[in-house]
Amino acid sequence: MLQKSTVIYLKSLKKNNNKPWFDEHRKEYEHAKKDMEQLVQSVIDMHGKKDPLIANLKAKECMFRINRDVRFSNDKSPYKTNFGASINGGGKKSGLAGYYIHIEPGQSFTGGGLYVPMPPALKKVRQEIDYNLEEFTKILQSKKFKSVFGSLSEWEGVKLSRVPQGFDKDSSAAPYLLFKSYIADKPLSDDDLVDKTLVKTILDSFETLQPLLQFLNRALED
What angle is formed at CA 189 by the lines to CA 186 and CA 190, rounded to 5 degrees? 145
Taking only the tens of pLDDT, the chain with its 222 residues reads: 999 999 999 999 999 999 999 999 999 999 999 999 999 999 999 999 999 999 999 999 999 999 999 888 888 999 999 999 999 987 777 889 999 999 999 999 999 999 999 999 999 999 999 999 999 999 999 999 999 999 999 999 999 999 999 999 999 999 999 999 999 999 999 999 999 999 999 999 999 999 999 999 999 987
Q: Count structural domains, the chain.
A: 1
* Measured distance CA(30)–CA(35) in Å, rounded: 9
pLDDT recorded at residue 71: 86
The predicted pLDDT at position 222 comes to 72
Task: For residue 86, give the CATH number of its domain.
Answer: 3.30.930
pTM of the model: 0.95
Domain containing 57: what range? 4-221
The backbone torsions φ and ψ at residue 36, rounded to the nearest 5 degrees and listed phi first, read -65, -40
